[in-house]
Amino acid sequence: MSNTAVSERVGTTSALSQLDQLKQFTKVVADTGDFATLKQYSPQDATTNPSLIYKAAQMPAYKDLVQKAISDQRKSGLSGSELLSRIMDDLLVLFGAEILKIVPGRVSTETDADLSFDTEGLVAKAHRFIELYANLKIPRERVLIKIASTWEGIRAAERLQKEGINCNMTLLFSLTQAVGCAEANARLISPFVGRILDWYKAKAGKDFSPAEDPGVLSVKEIYSYYKKFGYNTEVMGASFRSKGEIIELAGCDLLTISPPLLGELKASSDPVERKLSPSQAASSRLEKFSLDEKSFRWRLNEDAMATEKLAEGIRLFNADAVKLEKHLASLTS
């Protein structure tokens, strides 16, 4: 091990949990809509998605938030699908506002999955969220608008960033998507480590060690590319399947972690070594490339894993959004 690696190891103080050690290298983000979890692990930021909000909305602890979203929109005079859409927007923002009372940083609020190929629709939805947050006296600087990393989503992010509305580009599975997001000046990307691993495990019929994990290697490549070529877009590894994946990405700008894995990190005091750093990235052999729409779509098409996981992810998020909508509809009838 090099002297640099030794100097960046924070394992000599056994009292520090792995979670606390990790926080010295990386901003830790909680991947949850559960307020109790946020208080327990003290993350910097929090991120949610339709799946997490659907689960939280069914919990008795959040009944008041759900009822507030419903009662506020009933006064609007709207009905049917338009009413449900407004209730869902309100609910997402109400959860976000409560989360921001707990975390010191930012919250990510996700746009509708069925807008993933609609640039104008995504921009309008982002404006809607920012307006709702502003009505609650929450500045846009504390909000990240989550958008799927499609070509249309990236174009929406490009426009929103010019307005000072920060975007978190989600469902990201490839360097191609990452470069597109960086060139659009997106504030943050969320490469999905675990879902990449899932695809390769299914194809190869075997498991991978954390150091050889295809999802981990993908994030390391993206991180190195961004740091080597001076992009300001932040990299936030997401969708982890094991604690080992997280430890392998210590030093990444941010990592968004589920409650069970946060618990594992907090329960262990094994040493954590920084694995990613800008200085290491500078020496990578990656070559810079640019993208227009044709080259973006072609490169993505040639990456079977990224193409399949992006499409699947959009479908899954939309399915959970439909479940949430049905749940809210049952409460408004």
Q: Compute the distance between CA of residue 150 and CA of residue 311 in angstroms, rounded to an integer.
A: 10
Q: Is the pLDDT of residue 14 over 70?
A: no
pLDDT score, position 247: 98
Judge whether 68 counts as a catalytic residue: no
- Per DSSP, the residues of 54-98 read HHHHTSGGGHHHHHHHHHHHHTTT--HHHHHHHHHHHHHHHHHHH
User: Which of 194, 165, 209, 201 minimizes the C-alpha distance to 257?
Assistant: 194
**pLDDT category, 57, cuts 50, 70, 90?**
confident
Contact 291, 24 (CB under 8 A): no
Whole-structure pTM value: 0.92
Contact 235, 253 (CB under 8 A): yes
Q: Compute the distance between CA of residue 16 and CA of residue 83 in angstroms, rounded to an integer.
A: 49
- How is residue 187 annotated by DSSP? S
Average model confidence (pLDDT) for the chain?
A: 93
Contact 194, 240 (CB under 8 A): yes
Q: Is the pLDDT of residue 5 over 70?
A: no
Q: How many CA atoms lie within 13 A of 59 on its CB side?
A: 12
Q: Compute the distance between CA of residue 136 and CA of residue 94 in angstroms, rounded to an integer.
A: 9
pLDDT score, position 10: 47
**pLDDT category, 51, cuts 50, 70, 90?**
confident
Q: Is the pLDDT of residue 9 over 60?
A: no
User: Which of 255, 48, 290 minimizes the C-alpha distance to 184?
Assistant: 290
Per annotation, catalytic residue among 146, 220, 243, 275: 146
Q: Is the pLDDT of residue 159 over 80?
A: yes
Tokens of 195: 């879902």
Q: What is the pLDDT of residues 59-103, one digit of tens each?
A: 898 999 999 999 988 888 888 888 999 999 999 999 999 999 999
**pLDDT category, 154, cuts 50, 70, 90?**
very high
Domains of the chain: 26-326 (3.20.20.70)
User: Average pLDDT of 305-311?
Assistant: 98
Three-state secondary structure readout of 231-245: CCCEEEEECCCCHHH
User: Average pLDDT of 307-329?
Assistant: 94
* Residue 70 neighbours by CB distance under 10 Å: 17
Q: What is the pLDDT of residues 24-48, one digit of tens each?
A: 999 999 999 889 889 999 999 998 8
